[in-house]
A and B are shown apart, each in its own frame.
Chain A
Amino acid sequence: MISDGVEDEEKWLAAGIAGLQQNAFYMHRSLDSNNLKDALKYSAQMLSELRTSKLSPHKYYDLYMRAFDELRKLEIFFMEETKRGCSIIDLYELVQHAGNILPRLYLLCTVGSVYIKSKEAPAKDILKDLVEMCRGIQHPLRGLFLRSYLSQVSRDKLPDIGSEYEGDADTVNDAVEFVLQNFTEMNKLWVRMQHQGPARDKEKREKERSELRDLVGKNLHILSQVEGVDLDMYKDIVLPRVLEQVVNCKDEIAQFYLMECIIQVFPDEYHLQTLDVLLGACPQLQPSVDIKTVLSQLMERLSNYAASSAEVLPEFLQVEAFSKLSKAIGKVIEAQVDMPTVGVVTLYSALLTFTLHVHPDRLDYADLVLGACVKKLSGKGKIEDNKATKQIVALLSAPLEKYNDIVTTLKLSNYSHVMEYLDGETIKVMAMVIVQSITKNKTQISTADNVEALFELIRGLIKDLDGSLTDEVDEDDFKEEQSSVARLIQMLYNDDPDEMFKIICTVKKHILTGGIKRLPFTVPALVFSSLKLVRQLQGQEENPFGDETATTPKKIFQLLTQTIEILSSVPAPELAFRLYLQCAEAANDCDLEPVAYELFTQAYILYEEEISDSKAQVTALHLIIGTLQKMHVFGVENRDTLTHKATGYSAKLLKKPDQCRAVYACSHLFWLDDHDNMKDGERVMLCLKRALRIANAAQQMSNATRGSTGPVSLFIEILNKYLYFFEKGNPQITVATIQGLIELITTEMQSDTTTPDSSADAFFASTLRYIEFQKQKGGAVGEKYEPIKV
């Protein structure tokens, strides 16, 4: 009959609680009436509920805790009894009359606690007696709880150093001996559980054992809290005895758990000083024990300890912790041939973190760890296990986090070798980690060699990797990635132009492999980074020593042209166009006329051949005009060619208003304020007249179509240009020309065919106000404006 369902268990627990409460009730009554005999009787009956075999550890614990609370009251009663003159020795005898052994032993432990407190006998003797008597319970679950009770009630009565129970006869050795003995017995009970009952219940049994483990482990916690357990005692007695039990029990669950406990409950200093012993026990454990987790936890703990204060580092050196751990790991990996990759990497990752914290100055150690890891990974191909790749990312991130400096990490020759075992996706993840580390820490990467190594590491972001079919990359993620790369490119810097040039060449080499999706992000970054170098060199004499290899603006421009040209493969004509103009401006500042001319030509070619959208054309043309206006490097001939073309383009724009605006903008190409030899009033006037003609034509067209507004404001815009050049002293612009245009506009605005346009009205009004204002200014300006009638 198998009916161990959860419901049944609830029922049994409820019945147990009811029985317990009923007897507790009578026990209370007996306590209140100071009836010792009844108190013992009911408490024994109450404790009989703990004799059940039907409850799981969790439920049993519930029942146990209730009994435990009741026993505290009984304990207080015993204490009061002894104060009333009852002999504690008699009490100790008396409770042993209880009929059943389990209640008897609970009562004995309770009285024992009072007995020790009374100090009528040495604590050592009582403890020894109790721990021996508990052998009477061999049922694992009941025995474990009974002994746990013993350890709890004796917890504050151990003859520890400085304790009131310490005496000539009672020493800390007795305290430790007592706890160790209880621990050993408990562990035996716990291990024995594994071998009881039918094999098919193995899973359930292991679950129950796992629930009970803390009862056993708590003894180790108590040992760690014993004041008298100093390093010597730990080294000579505690650790060897505990490990002896751990090794000899030959039980996988117990060994793993107890190793974990040892590592967690005893202090770091103790572990460091007993590393040999602790690590020596590892190979003696059952082969199925998860030693890698045990060792990782040990290393993690020690790493945190090392990180906590520089003062403790000498302790690590003194015991040669690194080499001991390193050897132990090697042995474990060698012994466990079937250890999965994730296990191997976890171990090396923990060791790496350890050495980074303990020996931050020993890069060779870190490299050694990475090298050992590579050796283990080799021959296994790309790692596909998700957990393992996560561990590798952790492994590779550790040096970055420690040094906050990729340059230091680049010195680890095995670093890139480890990356070779990653799949494409993870290489990308790792590359992002690296780039983010650089951006966050503003790391200066200032040599071409480092840049080369770095780009090799982050190649997952730089190009499509073989095999990683870019399936469904999220657009936004991709943009963010490539923007990070762009930022990174801008951060690479060296004061020395030659080295900087080398860096630029290196970057160029790598980004060229990026493919058409990446180029629009990376090329501009490289162009601007190169222009920074141009600006730095600008003003210096071009190649003063005739050194062929020297970095000169000319050389950089060559490279720039090549770089921008690459964009044609994308194609990204508008971007390339803008970059050409940017470069042209820089060439102008360097007084490199042929270079600037060539760049402009390239921009013009793109304009003519590639930019076909009318809106894009308008924008591009204004960029041309704006840039060209600033150029002073061109001789008459070149300049004429370029301006001629620009005005030509203007007249060819699709829409009349666009044509008009572009043409009047061109007027500025013939009038440069700071250059007296570039003030051609006649051609300015030609442009403006042409603009007027176009505006007229536009007006006629719009009259034909009715309703469309705009042309009037074109006239006003041209009027403003007139005023500008009038003020600048262009002799072609006379009072009469201005007066004529004002009249034209006034008539236009009053004409019936024109649709009212408030913004044009306002624009015109404020233009007239301006004229009025200039008049009132007086002086030369006022005189100039005076004749204009508004």
Chain B
Amino acid sequence: MPSRRRTLLKVIILGDSGVGKTSLMNQYVNKKFSNQYKATIGADFLTKEVQFEDRLFTLQIWDTAGQERFQSLGVAFYRGADCCVLVYDVNSMKSFDSLNNWREEFLIQASPSDPENFPFVVLGNKVDVDGGNSRVVSEKKARAWCASKGNIPYFETSAKEGINVEEAFQCIAKNALKSGEEEEIYLPDTIDVAGNNQPRSSGCDC
């Protein structure tokens, strides 16, 4: 198979509303940060070129709505993901507790071929807030959870200060690349010798 397929790596960012998914993506892709909270609607991606072992890849980073009400079309975009990033806010226990749900929901919906070894990366965001004084989820606790789920790589980040963001996405890209998720190989039932393939849709002519 030619290498074209593997130059695009698809990454999905999941987590509760307000943990900083959009901010992490913006910090990584655009090196920008805004303190203002803006809800995300639906799913939305940005791309970034990354160099890895002398090869250039395009990272397609999908930012998602943390609020359920802004996810009206469902999660068909999970399909074909190469890595899933789970984000929580170290200052919110609830957002940490939700990680399990997000992970399970992803595995159910995306149904990767090898769920046991599908690459996740966990980010504990907002470590900058209040000089760390308002923190409620300890690093130990987070690492223990990651260890229990098959040694998920863990990073403590601050999208605001840009702490660990680059490192985290390096790891994300690396794991996405290593991911065994080959695209489903499609072979047509009949080889159309004439190359004359009639579209079978039945919509109107517009």
User: Which residue of A has the minimal Cβ distance to B69?
Assistant: A260
Of the candidates B34, B192, B206, the one having the most CB atoms from chain A within 10 angstroms of its own CB is B206
**Interface readout for A128-140 with B: 1 if CB under 8 Å, 0 if not?**
0000000011110
Instruction: Please state if B46 and A16 are interface contacts (CB–CB under 8 Å).
Output: no
Interface residue A23 (Cβ < 8 Å from any Cβ of B): yes
Given A25-B186, A53-B204, A217-B70, A61-B38 contact (CB < 8 Å): no
* A221 and B42 contact, Cβ closer than 8 Å, known pairs A32-B4, A76-B7, A212-B73: yes
Contacts of A22 in B (CB 8 A): 186, 188-189, 197
Q: Is the CB of A19 within 8 A of B46?
A: no
Interfacial chain B residues near A139, Cβ < 8 Å: 204, 206
Interface size on A, residues (CB 8 A): 66
Q: A15-66: which residues lie under 8 A (CB-CB) from chain B?
A: 15-16, 19, 21-26, 31-32, 38, 42, 45, 48-54, 57-58, 61-62, 64-66
From B8, B41, B76, contact of A217 by CB (8 A): B41
How far is the CB of A204 from the nearest CB of chain B, in Å? 15
B179-204 contacts to A (CB < 8 Å)? 186-189, 192, 195, 197, 199-204
A124: interface (CB < 8 Å): no
Report if A220-B41 is in contact (Cβ < 8 Å); known contacts: A73-B8, A214-B72. yes
What is the CA–CA distance of A300 and B157 in the complex, to the nearest angstrom? 28
A72→B79 CA distance, assembly (Å) = 14
- Contact assessment for B4 and A221 in the assembled complex, using a CB-CB cutoff below 8 Å: no
Is B45 a contact of A152 with CB atoms below 8 Å? yes
Residues of B within 8 A of A73 (CB): 4-5, 8
Contact partner of B201 among A16, A31, A152, A214, CB < 8 A?
A: A16
Inter-chain CA distance A212–B39, complex, in Å, is 18
| A221 and B197 form a contact (CB under 8 A) | no
Q: Residue A268 at the B interface, CB < 8 A?
A: yes
> Smallest CB-CB separation from B22: which chain A residue?
A225
Is B74 at the interface (CB under 8 A from chain A)?
A: yes
Q: Would A19 and B60 be within 8 Å (CB), given that A62-B76, A73-B4, A76-B7 are in contact?
A: no
- In the complex, the answer to whether B79 meets A23 with C-beta atoms within 8 Å is no
Determine the chain B residues whose CB is within 8 A of the CB of A48 once the complex forms.
Answer: 199, 201
Most buried by A among B5, B39, B67: B39
Shortest Cβ distance from A64 into B: residue: B76
Cβ contacts under 8 Å, A42 to chain B = 197
- Structural contact, B44 and A218, CB atoms closer than 8 A: yes
Contact partner of B73 (CB less than 8 A), chosen from A66, A136, A142, A214, is: A214
Interface residue SS majority, chain B? loop
Check if A210 sits within 8 Å of B72, measured CB to CB: yes
Interface contact B205-A268, CB-CB below 8 Å: no
Please, which residue of chain B has its CB at the minimum distance from the CB of A38?
B195
* Chain A stretch 207-253: residues in CB contact (< 8 A) with chain B: 210-215, 217-218, 220-222, 224-225, 227
User: In whole angstroms, how far apart are the Cα atoms of A24 and B199 in the complex?
Assistant: 12
Interface assignment of A727: CB less than 8 Å from any CB of chain B = no
Q: How far is the CA of A213 from the CA of B192 in the complex (A)?
A: 40
Given contacts A25-B188, A265-B39, contact A155 B2 (CB under 8 A): no
User: How close is A114's CB to chain B, nearest CB, in angstroms?
Assistant: 13
Q: Does residue A633 face the partner (Cβ distance < 8 Å to B)?
A: no
Q: Is B188 touching A53 in the complex (CB atoms < 8 A)?
A: no
- Contact present for A61 and B76 (CB under 8 Å): yes
Assuming the A-B contacts A65-B76, A69-B80, A73-B4, are A264 and B202 also in contact, with contact meaning beta carbons closer than 8 angstroms in the complex? no
Q: Max chain B CB contacts within 10 Å: which of A26, A31, A77? A: A26
Q: What is the chain A residue whose CB lies nearest that of B34?
A: A267
Instruction: Give the residues in chain B near A225, CB-CB below 8 Å.
Output: 22, 26, 38
A49 and B70 form a contact (CB under 8 A)? no
Whether the Cβ atoms of A76 and B8 lie closer than 8 Å is yes
Contacts of B188 in A (CB 8 A): 21-22, 25-26
Residue with the greatest number of chain A CB neighbours at <10 A, chosen from B38, B73, B80, B195: B73
Give every chain B residue within 8 A of A52 (Cβ-Cβ): 201-203
Q: Which residues in B have their C-beta under 8 angstroms from that of A512?
A: none
Q: Is the CB of A268 within 8 A of B36?
A: yes
A266 at the interface (CB under 8 A from B): yes
Chain B residue at smallest Cβ distance from A48: B199
Contact of A19 with B200 in the complex, beta carbons under 8 Å? yes
CA distance A218 to B5 in the complex (A): 29
Give chain B residues whose Cβ lies under 8 Å from the Cβ of A49. 199-201
Q: Does B113 contact A (CB under 8 A)?
A: no
Evaluate contact between B41 and A51: CB separation under 8 angstroms.
no
Report the minimal beta-carbon distance from B42 to chain A, rounded to whole angstroms: 4
Shortest CB–CB separation between residue B51 and chain A, in angstroms? 16
B52 within 8 A of A: no
A523 is an interface residue with CB less than 8 A from chain B = no
- Chain B residues with CB under 8 Å of A31's CB are 4
Query: CB of B170 within 8 A of chain A?
Result: no
Residue ID in chain A nearest B46 by CB atoms: A156
A749 located at the interface, meaning its Cβ lies under 8 Å from any Cβ of chain B in the complex: no
Does residue B77 face the partner (Cβ distance < 8 Å to A)? yes
Residues of B within 8 A of A212 (CB): 72-73
- The contact of B197 among A26, A66, A214, by CB within 8 Å, is A26
Bound-state CA distance A196–B166 (Å) is: 50
Decide if A498 is an interface residue (CB 8 Å cutoff): no
| Contact residues in B for A363 (Cβ distance below 8 Å) | none
Chain B min CB distance to A519 (Å): 44
On whether the beta carbons of B206 and A51 are closer than 8 Å, the reply is: yes
Q: How far is the CA of A258 from the CA of B202 in the complex (A)?
A: 33
Interface residues of B in 54-75 (CB under 8 A from A): 58, 60, 65, 67, 69-74
Residues of A within 8 A of B37 (CB): 267-268
Q: Residue B164 at the A interface, CB < 8 A?
A: no
Q: Which residues of A contact B44 (CB under 8 A)?
A: 152, 155, 218, 221-222
Residue A101, interface by CB 8 Å: yes
Q: How far does the alpha carbon of A535 sit from the alpha carbon of B202 in the complex, in Å?
A: 94
- Cβ of A102 within 8 Å of any chain B Cβ, yes or no, is yes
Q: List 25 A-B contacts (CB under 8 A).
A: A26-B192, A26-B197, A38-B195, A49-B200, A50-B201, A51-B203, A52-B203, A61-B73, A72-B60, A73-B5, A76-B4, A76-B8, A77-B4, A102-B206, A137-B206, A142-B206, A155-B44, A211-B72, A212-B73, A214-B70, A214-B71, A265-B39, A267-B34, A267-B37, A268-B36
- Those 4 A-B pairs whose CB atoms lie nearest each other, nearest first: A51-B203, A267-B36, A48-B199, A264-B39
